[in-house]
Structures are given as structure tokens and as C-alpha cells.
Structure 1
């Protein structure tokens, strides 16, 4: 039995400032404690999986832009770092799980919320639905027949996951009070509830259908905080530019969308 854990850094317990997640802001030392905690939470998730399937193969994708995991901290998991390995390559996995996830950009009181780029992207919208990293990646998995069964992260990220996948199991590591403010679960307690939540999710995974509710043809829209550089725009032939801040892509192939 194979499982895919997709990770990010902003959703772990104890992290509520971008200086704890960005190498350029604080250097590797500044985000080191968050990375250590992420590995602990991933290992806890893996323990939950193996409580049901002791011989499970578990692949872990480091989905944080500047790197979120020290590979040597993972226990019994295969570390992956290639960009977007989950797109079109999930055949054979029983399920996908999220660890360390944050909410989409624009979510009220959601700590460190953003959509792919915290510095650049105002929103993504797909077929008229505002969508963040969870929804986009759950859909990419879903069209490949893989259910998304678990998410750990802040309370707003958990609510977002339940909006797209109502049956999903979640583990809340912190309660958001603002863009860079949260009340955190103790780090050890966070690992405990992640381990228990992942185990429940695996035991229930036959009850959780792959997320496929957004269907082709796809109309994708992205809006940015700052205007596009005009010379760069000319080189993006697949995109239709609505204005200086917004572009659209229309396609029947979800794997041609830029998320």
C-alpha cells in the first residue's frame, strides 16, 4: 500500500510569522525550528498510516518553496523535492495526505494564508470557484482516482479542506487570530493528534471519495498584487491577459493549468 504526503511549512505548530518560513528573511537558521517541527509532524502522520498498514510505502513531497524539511529527519519515508511531482504521477497511491497546510489567500484570520506565492498572488479561481493549494492539489489527485483523506494545519486550513472534501479527517495545530497571529497547540500534542487523525483517515479512506467536483472544460483565472512586466507578458502565449494584474487559461486538460 502506497501513500503520498504533501507538505508545507506555514501550517506547523509554533509557526505564525513569515520570518519563520522564508530563507531570504531569516536565513536557514531562522526557519530551522519550523522545519524540525514539520518533520516531527510528518513522522507522526506516517506513524498513523503504519498503525493500519505496517508495511506501507510512504512518499513525502517537500512542497515549501525554499525547502521545508531536512530529509535526514524523516523516519522510514522517501523524500521528494522535484517540482510538482504529484501532477499526473499519482497512479498506484492509495491516498494523499496534507501536513503543515495553510489556508488560501484572503482567508480571514488565517495565519500565513496565501495561494502558492505569498508575495505575488492575490487569488486563483477555477470555473468561478476561489481555490487555494489544497483544493487545486486535491483536484489533481482526484482526477487520477486518488482520494485526499487527511489534512493537518491551522483551523482555517481545516475548514477549507472540509469545504472541498466534507468527509476528510483533520488535525488542527493552531487557531488563527490574524495574518501573523495564532494560538498554538503544544508541539508534542500536535504530533499526537496528527498521528491519531492520520490513523482514523486511513481506516476510513474507503468512505472518502476522490475530489472531482470541478470538471472540464476549465477556466482558470489568476490575479496578482502587482502589474505584470509587459515584455514578459508577450512570451506567455497560452495565457489571455484580462488586465495588467489578471490572466486566464482555458483548457480541457487540468495538467496544463499553472498550479
Structure 2
């Protein structure tokens, strides 16, 4: 059995302030990184209690780094790339330390990819965050998403897309930077049990394929954007349109809706040349 674990820093217990996550300085986020490592290792232990020979890859999904390779027990650290685009070798995917999508009420540290830039993503008219996008990418390759731990709003979001998924709530959100935290040892014990249950139930949890092609993603930003800087994929063409105030890409299906919003279309989310490959 081969599992991919995606981690983030905002969803672990004891973390409820962007001062703990929006930094490259380990002296500020070190305690949060310690907590994440313990929760990831709890998941790995749970998986191995059911599947001792499993191969477990752990991808650090926090932009400024949330997991130290040296802190991992009995799992392989992936610090680069986007492995969820290439899932041929995997049997299942899991999330540890996940947060809810941008705009979720009372969801601690909620955001969608960038907490400083992105207002929302809508894919085929459905609001989506990091969980749904990556679960869909795995699902399109036939790989189920079987587990998520994070705040209670993140677990609710996961069950909306994958009702059968195993989840563990690490805290109860009461605002964007406030939460009631659970006992860390109790959380890790539940993560161990959830990890074991998740791999036992792989055959019962279907791959997520709830959004079908053609795909249209609407991305809205907090501030006006020069969309020529948004579409950085190879081979795109820029055309100068004075009414829009700058260079605007007219290829790769990127359309400017207004100063803060773009729309992107694609038939294949897994296309390595698509806008989606750089943004999801």
C-alpha cells in the first residue's frame, strides 16, 4: 500500500493566529511545526498499526514550510513539486493539519491557497478550497481521499465533498483567528485510530469526481490584479488593451472579468501546460 499525506500548518491543535504561520522564521512557527510533526507521526503510526508494510510519502503543503524532514518517523518527506498531479503509484491520499476554504464562517485561519491574496475560488460554480481541488485531482486519477484532520470547519468541508471520509477535529473554530483547542494527546490518539480506520476502509471510500469537465474556475482576489502576472504558464500570449490598464493574457483560456476577478477554462485539470497545474 502506498499513501500520500498532504500537510498544512493552520489546522493543527494549538494554532489559531496567522503570526504562527505567515512567516519563514522558525522561532515564530517552531511550536506549531512541532505540533504538526506529532500529528503527522500519529497518523503514520495509525496506518502502520493496520498496514505495517505501507509506503507513506508526506508532502509539506505549507507555503513557507511547516514540517521538518528530521521530525518524521518512518515516512518519506516530500518538500517540492505537486505530487497530487501524479498519483499513479498511490492507493490513497490523506490530509493532516488542514484548514477550511476562504470565507468559511468562524473557521480559524481559513483561506484558499493564499491567505493574503485570494478571496475565493469557484470551480464550475462551486466554492472550493485546497481540499476539494486536490481531492478532485486525485479522484480524476482514480485515487480516493480517505482521511482529514484539522479544525471542525475543515472536517465539515471535507465531508461535504467526500461523505465517507474519516475525519478528526483538532479544535472548534470561533473566528478567523480564534478557536477552542482540544487536548493534544486526545487529538493524536484519535488521529492514530483514524489513520488505521482510513486504510482499512480504502475500498469503501470512492475517489472524488463530483465536478466534471469542461472546467471553469473563477478566481477572485482581495486587491486589483494585473492578470498578465497571474498567468505565468509557458507559451501564453499577451495583448495590450488600454481600457484594462495593462497587458492582459488572451491565451490558455484566461479571461479578465473585472479588476479583481479572472475566469479560467480547461478540459483537463491534469494538463501540465494548464493554468491549473501552477495554481492548485
The question of a shared fold, defined as TM-score above 0.5 by the shorter chain, is answered with yes
CA distance in 1, matches of 2:79, 2:259: 33
2:226·2:248 contact (CA, 8 Å) conserved in 1?
no
Q: Which residue of 2 aligns with 1:7?
A: 7
Q: Once the 2 structures are TM-superposed, how far is the Cα of residue 83 of structure 1 from its aligned partner?
A: 3.1
Q: Which residue of 2 aligns with 1:209?
A: 206
Q: Once the 2 structures are TM-superposed, how far is the Cα of residue 95 of structure 1 from its aligned partner?
A: 0.5
Aligned residue for 2:142, secondary structure, equals coil
Q: Once structures 1 and 2 are overlaid, which stretch shifts more, 72-81 or 222-231?
A: 222-231
User: Which of the numbers 97, 102, 115 marks the counterpart of 1:100?
Assistant: 97
Q: Which residue of 1 aligns with 2:225?
A: 228
User: Which of the numbers 169, 186, 191 marks the counterpart of 1:189?
Assistant: 186
Q: Once the 2 structures are TM-superposed, how far is the Cα of residue 145 of structure 1 from its aligned partner?
A: 0.6
Structure 1 segments of 4+ aligned residues over 3 angstroms from their partners: 230-233
2:256·2:262 contact (CA, 8 Å) conserved in 1?
yes
Q: How well do the aligned residues superpose, as a CA RMSD in angstroms?
A: 1.2
User: Which of the numbers 60, 73, 76 marks the counterpart of 1:75?
Assistant: 73
Aligned residue for 2:83, secondary structure, equals coil
Q: Once the 2 structures are TM-superposed, how far is the Cα of residue 231 of structure 1 from its aligned partner?
A: 5.9
2:155·2:167 contact (CA, 8 Å) conserved in 1?
yes
Q: Which residue of 2 aligns with 1:150?
A: 147
2:217·2:264 contact (CA, 8 Å) conserved in 1?
yes
Could you list the per-position Cα deviations for residues 183-217 of structure 1 after superposition, in whole angstroms to 9, with x for gaps in the alignment? 01111111111111111111111110000010110
Aligned residues: 256
Map residues 27-176 of structure 1 onto 2, 5 A cutoff: 27-87=25-85, 89-176=86-173
Max radius of gyration: which structure?
2
- Runs of 5+ consecutive residues of structure 1 not aligned to the other structure: none
TM-score, normalisation: structure 2 = 0.89
Are positions 1:23 and 2:20 aligned together?
no
Q: Once the 2 structures are TM-superposed, how far is the Cα of residue 232 of structure 1 from its aligned partner?
A: 3.3
Work out which structure has the larger RCO, using CA pairs closer than 8 Å and 6 or more positions apart in sequence.
1
CA distance in 1, matches of 2:87, 2:44: 18
Could you list the per-position Cα deviations for residues 144-197 of structure 1 after superposition, in whole angstroms to 9, with x for gaps in the alignment? 110000000000000000000000010000000000000011111111111111
**CA 253–203 in structure 1, closer or farther in 2 if over 3 Å, else same:** same
